[in-house]
Structure 1
Amino acid sequence: MPGHDTRMKTILSPTGITPTARPGTVRSLLAATVAAAALALAVPAAPARAAPAASEVARTPEVAADLARVEAYLNGIGTLRSRFLQVADDGSSVKGTFALARPGRMRIDYDPPVGNFIVADGRFVYFWDAELKQQSNAPIGSTLADFLLRPQISLSGDVTVTEVAHDGGVLEVTLAQTKDPALGRLTLVFEERPFALRKWRVLDAQGLTTEISLLSPETGVELKDEQFFFRDPTRRRERD
């Protein structure tokens, strides 16, 4: 069974995986993703500790309609490919490429000179640290990447909606993990006309915010299966 890097910890991030901060390392969001990302990797979350429950937004008919629209949109995505811009709390930024193939698969590649990447193969999420030349991994179900990668996305149960807001043609939906809301918040930002996911923001347990904006996203695109397998770059170079 793949091992885990104890330097990493799972928090509520786009992919559910965020690195322990160290100088010169790109901070995430993931994930994910969904996106997942991110963006260094995680170990499974520790057993849920006693914490105040997340305060769920009142599900008025208007809010219920908004959330149903979000669920339908996300569940309607089979594949997605996009360039992205990630901006950290300190204003530093990095670009890369995000690919999603639901259910279960995702890839985030950072542009040089960073060289880090994240890949979910349907069972595990892997993070490659180009600086340390090593990988870390975690079962998808132990990270928030699972929210975007599961076959059916639901804004209830293990995910609590804490806020829904409209502002100038934009819908923002903020989420927390139901079992451990202290891990952070994920805000999904949708353009309303046409309705589409444009960015997400992560507020982590340390109070730091990371924003990931999708640049010209494409849905329904053809993606190659092999890009969702983890391959150790050092071994590839050795074979070459």
Structure 2
Amino acid sequence: MMKRFAFLLACVLSAAPVAAVAQAVPAQLRPAEAGWVSRVQDSLNAITVSKSRFQQIAPDGKRTTGTAWLSRPGKMRFDYDKPSPLLLVANDGKIVYQDRDLGQVTTIPLDRTPLGLLLRPNLRFSGDVTVTGFKHDNGLVQITLVRTANPSEGSLTLILNEQPLTLRSWVVQDAQGRETQIDLFDTQTGISLVPHLFDLPKEQN
């Protein structure tokens, strides 16, 4: 069970950081592509509250589902469907991951995870974030991002529907090249969320 907990934690967040061995190489964007990047940035910054169903596809192909709530900036909750006992909550600048069967929690800084990029108060695809890939095809816009100072830690690829421009999924690639995909569906926006959704889990006695 401990292995399951550690594996799923890595799937959603990312692998542990490794020393950077290369500089981030920015994508060479044409003007139209740069325009799409700007539109995606503005679209994500416009998100305040949402609720979605999600499917997670792990590197080994295992699929799990659940419900995700978002309250920008800084708050998110991933509640996995039973029989999974797993819960992830982002709040107060950190991520807390709980296995409710084991009564175990793990806490890491939010800014060390891909979710930290999505939950920033003012998301910018520049400066400490570098766009390394762009694709626009078949009604989808795909943007790959790395942390400028540590590109070897892995990447985050955002996939959005073109019309309307909405976040559809993201893919985390860790330092070893393993990919985990989160797909969102049945998304609701402009809804009211109860504050206790984002209470951070505590270690069970």
TM-score (norm 1): 0.77
Unaligned runs of 5+ in 2: none
* Distance apart, 1:141 and its partner CA: 2.8
Which residue does 2:12 correspond to in 1? 38
Q: CA RMSD in A?
A: 2.3
Whether the aligned pair in 1 keeps the contact of 2:93 and 2:110 (CA below 8 Å) is: yes
CA distance in 1, matches of 2:15, 2:134: 28
Which residue does 1:66 correspond to in 2? 36
Q: 1:1-240 residue pairs with structure 2 within 5 A? A: 22=3, 27=8, 38=12, 45=17, 49-232=19-202, 234=204
Select the structure that is richer in helix: 2
1:176-205 deviations in whole A, cap 9, x for unaligned? Answer: 111111111111101101111111111111
CA distance in 2, matches of 1:118, 1:198: 20
Identity of aligned residues (%): 37
* Distance apart, 1:60 and its partner CA: 2.5
Amino acid at match of 2:12: A
Amino acid at match of 2:68: F
Larger RCO of the pair (alpha carbons < 8 Å, separation 6+) = 2
Say if 1:203 and 1:141 are closer, same or farther in 2 by CA, change over 3 A. Answer: closer
Say if 1:221 and 1:94 are closer, same or farther in 2 by CA, change over 3 A. Answer: same
Whether the aligned pair in 1 keeps the contact of 2:9 and 2:97 (CA below 8 Å) is: no
* Distance apart, 1:116 and its partner CA: 0.8
Whether the aligned pair in 2 keeps the contact of 1:103 and 1:122 (CA below 8 Å) is: no
TM-score (norm 2): 0.89
SS of equivalent to 2:134: strand
* Distance apart, 1:61 and its partner CA: 1.1
CA distance in 1, matches of 2:29, 2:178: 28
